[in-house]
């Protein structure tokens, strides 16, 4: 995007790409369908990035969703909108987006040089600009290339097979930029109770509520019936720990823990909270019913089907793979007839259905995160031009910046918008300083 826009304005552009092809992460995005933006109103859109979203007002006012969709249409890519305002190519093919961007760059005479790794950005003293230094060249694994402007678009540090291995952070740091500590965002979580998670592996839970709690050490009791439910503390028991975040939707059980949309969306808050102390989560498998309603419903079922075994009762309440772990957690014999289940046992089952607890060990590694949180500190970048406030002629865009958002197409829109603006600003800089410009 940056190379295409800079070329469109007449700048001579060289795009350096480390791998053998551009846009490998886009090819993976949206399960290879590329959720490229979202139809949310601007205020909601900005809110999806958390407090740092304010930085994007400048870029979005210059190039936002409509401009992106129009640009893709120019290259033959129509789009469609799905649940949650998610916008995809109508073809469901992420490669169409990559091809469109490559054509945008090539038609505007950007030269794309693949299998070339940028190593460092060289600077020289800058007598005329406000910064003390300005870019002079890019050193690659093949040559040193003079440059009037450099756009650092090297992405984050996750999914390294796509080429984004964190090089951008190192190049920016070497030039004096502050790098806000990197963390995994939109990442599956590993639980302490791995055997129980493994037993439930592959279960997809729809219409559930996931709540994360910041706990004290004495509130962590692995493999025990929960001390609290999702709604409020259980009378006579310890007070419920503070809620970090709670979301309704879809999640997955995996062999190591939990994944799926609502887990990913809550993961950064959980990762940050783990720095402060233990975190546990509770899955409310019956969020449409209060605990009291659930108790009454269970009692009705037990009365109506008195001779059915507990194992068979669970089949109506839960996905099959969750039956065995529930038998174990409830401590009720699986062949016990329903009409012999005591009130205490029924209440235990209701509590578990409302609050299936896991203690969080941590996220999967940063390399497995959909997005890298942290990055080049936004206070050191001009939000109207994407130019560095420390190095003249240096521009940033995309995930290398300290920006990350929910799933829904927000991360790509931020990369496209900041890329467009960086390309435009860099082109203008080369027009006043007509040497070769380099987009990396």
Ligand X SMILES: Cc1cc2nc3c(=O)[nH]c(=O)nc-3n(C[C@H](O)[C@H](O)[C@H](O)COP(=O)(O)OP(=O)(O)OC[C@H]3O[C@@H](n4cnc5c(N)ncnc54)[C@H](O)[C@@H]3O)c2cc1C
Binding stretches for ligand X (CB under 6 A): 16-19, 22, 24-26, 28-30, 34-35, 117-118, 153-155, 158-159, 162-164, 167, 370-371, 398-399, 409-412, 415, 440
Least distance CB 306 / ligand X (angstroms): 50
Least distance CB 23 / ligand X (angstroms): 7
Specify whether the CB–CB gap between 313 and 301 falls below 8 A. Answer: yes
Distances in Å between the Cα of 63 and the Cα atoms of 32, 44, 57, 87, 231 are: 24, 17, 10, 16, 43
Specify whether the CB–CB gap between 72 and 97 falls below 8 A. Answer: yes
Q: Which is nearer to ligand X, 188 or 323 (CB)?
A: 188
Least distance CB 321 / ligand X (angstroms): 25
Distances in Å between the Cα of 226 and the Cα atoms of 10, 236, 240, 359 are: 64, 13, 10, 11
**Which phi-psi region, left, alpha or beta, contains residue 74 (left: φ > 0; alpha: ψ -120 to 50)?**
alpha
| Angle at CA of residue 89, ends 86 and 91, nearest 5° | 130
- Distance (Å, rounded) from C-alpha 201 to C-alpha 222? 18
Q: Which is nearer to ligand X, 34 or 338 (CB)?
A: 34
Sign of the Cα pseudo-torsion (317, 321, 323, 325, in order): negative
Q: Which is nearer to ligand X, 151 or 200 (CB)?
A: 151
Least distance CB 435 / ligand X (angstroms): 20
The residues pairing with 376 across neighbouring beta strands, listed in sequence order, are: 179, 401
Q: Which is nearer to ligand X, 193 or 404 (CB)?
A: 404
Q: Which is nearer to ligand X, 244 or 401 (CB)?
A: 401
Q: Which is nearer to ligand X, 139 or 305 (CB)?
A: 139
Q: Which is nearer to ligand X, 302 or 420 (CB)?
A: 420
Least distance CB 267 / ligand X (angstroms): 13
Pairing of strands 279-284, 204-214: antiparallel
Least distance CB 20 / ligand X (angstroms): 10
Using the structure block, give the residue that is written with the tokens 């969750």: 322
Tokens of 423: 């390309």
Least distance CB 409 / ligand X (angstroms): 5
């Amino acid at each position: 995007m940056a190379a295409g826009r800079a070329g469109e304005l007449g700048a001579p552009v060289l795009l350096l790409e480390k791998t053998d092809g551009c846009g490998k992460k886009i090819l993976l995005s949206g399960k290879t369908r590329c959720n490229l933006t979202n139809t949310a109103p601007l205020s909601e859109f900005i809110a999806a990035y958390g407090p740092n979203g304010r930085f994007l007002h400048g870029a979005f006012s210059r190039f936002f969703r409509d401009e992106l969709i129009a640009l893709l249409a120019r290259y033959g890519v129509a789009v469609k909108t799905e649940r949650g305002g998610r916008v995809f190519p109508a073809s469901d093919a992420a490669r169409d987006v990559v091809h469109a961007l490559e054509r945008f760059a090539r038609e505007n005479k950007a030269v794309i040089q693949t299998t070339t790794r940028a190593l460092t950005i060289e600077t020289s003293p800058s007598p005329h600009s406000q910064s003390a230094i300005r870019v002079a060249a890019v050193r690659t694994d093949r040559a040193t290339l003079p440059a009037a402007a450099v756009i650092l678009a090297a992405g984050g540090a996750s999914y390294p097979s796509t080429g984004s291995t964190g090089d951008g952070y190192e190049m920016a740091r070497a030039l004096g930029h502050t790098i806000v500590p990197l963390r995994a965002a939109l990442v599956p979580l590993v639980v302490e109770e791995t055997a129980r998670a493994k037993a439930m592996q592959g279960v997809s839970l729809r219409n559930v509520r996931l709540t994360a709690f910041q706990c004290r050490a004495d509130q962590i009791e692995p493999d025990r019936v929960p001390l609290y439910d999702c709604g409020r503390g259980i009378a006579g028991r310890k007070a419920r720990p503070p809620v970090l975040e709670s979301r309704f939707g879809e999640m997955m059980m995996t062999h190591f823990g939990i994944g799926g949309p609502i887990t990913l969306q809550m993961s950064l808050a959980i990762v940050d909270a783990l720095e402060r102390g233990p975190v546990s989560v509770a899955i409310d498998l019956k969020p449409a019913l209060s605990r009291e309603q659930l108790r009454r419903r269970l009692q009705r079922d037990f009365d109506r089907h008195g001779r059915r075994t507990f194992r068979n009762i669970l089949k109506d309440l839960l996905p099959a793979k969750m039956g065995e772990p529930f038998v174990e957690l409830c401590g009720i014999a699986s062949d016990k007839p329903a009409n012999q289940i005591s009130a205490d046992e029924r209440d235990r089952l209701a509590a578990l259905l409302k609050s299936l607890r896991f203690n969080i060990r941590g996220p999967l590694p940063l390399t497995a995160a959909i997005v890298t949180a942290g990055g080049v500190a936004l206070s050191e970048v001009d939000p109207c031009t994407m130019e560095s406030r420390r190095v003249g002629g240096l521009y940033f865009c995309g995930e290398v910046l300290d920006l990350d958002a929910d799933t829904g197409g927000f991360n790509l829109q931020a990369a496209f918008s900041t890329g467009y603006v960086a390309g435009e600003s860099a082109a203008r800089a080369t027009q006043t300083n007509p040497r070769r410009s380099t987009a990396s």
